[in-house]
Amino acid sequence: MLWVGTSWKMNKTLAEASDYATRLAAALSDGAPTGVQPFIIPPATALTTVRAILGSDSPVELGIQNAHWADAGAWTGEISVPQAADAGATLVEIGHSERREFFAETDRTVNLKVKASLTHGLRPLLCCGEPGEVFDAGGSVDHIMAQVAAGLDGVDDVSRVLIAYEPIWAIGEHGREARPEDIEGVFAALDAEYGDKVECILYGGSVNQGNAEETLQVKGVNGLFVGRSAWQVDGYLELLRIAAAQA
Ligand code: PGA
């Protein structure tokens, strides 16, 4: 199964989220394309709205962009995994490089959040990525394997885990599109270690309608995690079509 999804990051009003969800639900009214598992990760404010519009039998999985490891308590500004589930999430995005860089996320908190997600029956989407200097120095494989091992430390059953490899140098408007040869080594290593154990290993970072097909052809890539190119529903639907042709 190819998992193809988008995080909207800190974008979209409720009206914009509703419009996207309405058009997505209509386009997928006969189900998701064969072999493709769509997922959407809206801002937390839009989760219940998007869930209600998609409906409980939608083929689209919903995620939250971050969740705390504790079930409840005095953690001002945070959202727990049970609260995310209550709002309709079935996935928890954990350890995106923007959270690690700007919000003090560490391998230790990532690991706690992975465990909390699994405890409550949600799928962790564990993000990993190396800075440009590490890539330039040829250290990508070691960096990523250490990051993923730390995120999964003490997790015996990783079968519900998704791993998203998102090199920091490839993400966002200042990122550069990865060529297949830039990411083959990391995917070979991730595939060898986790390919037959986890639910899916995805690629993210400047994925677009022009490079999605060749990215999916890299050995070990079983999904796409997309930002900007999927923030308009037509762009996302096109990516689902491209993935379906590869599935
Ligand atoms: P981008 O974002 O597709 O806009 O580069 C990817 C991500 O941060 O997951």
What does the pLDDT look like over 222-235, one tens digit per residue?
999 999 999 999 99
Q: How far is CA 129 from the centre of its chain?
A: 12
Q: Is the pLDDT of residue 19 over 90?
A: yes
> In this predicted structure, what is the pLDDT of residue 56?
84
96 is catalytic: yes
* Averaged pLDDT score across all residues of the chain: 98
Q: How does pLDDT run across 41-69, given as a tens digit for each residue?
A: 999 999 999 999 999 899 999 999 999 99
174 is catalytic: no
Mean pLDDT of 56-84: 97
Q: What is the mean predicted confidence (pLDDT) over 23-38?
A: 97
User: Of 96, 98, 130, 143, which residue is the catalytic one?
Assistant: 96
Mean pLDDT of 185-212: 98
Residue 18 has pLDDT above 90, yes or no: yes
What would the two tokens of residue 242 be?
């491209």
Mutating to test ligand 1, I would choose from 225, 231, 236 the residue with most ligand atoms within 8 A of its C-beta, which is 225
- In the chain, the N- to C-terminal Cα span, in Å, equals 7
- Ligand 1 centroid from CA 181, angstroms: 19
pLDDT for the residue 115: 98
| pLDDT score of 194 more than 90 | yes
Q: Could you say which architecture CATH assigns to the domain 2-246?
A: Alpha-Beta Barrel (3.20)
Model confidence pTM above 0.85: yes
Separation of CA 51 and ligand 1 centre (Å): 23
Model confidence at 90: pLDDT above 90? yes
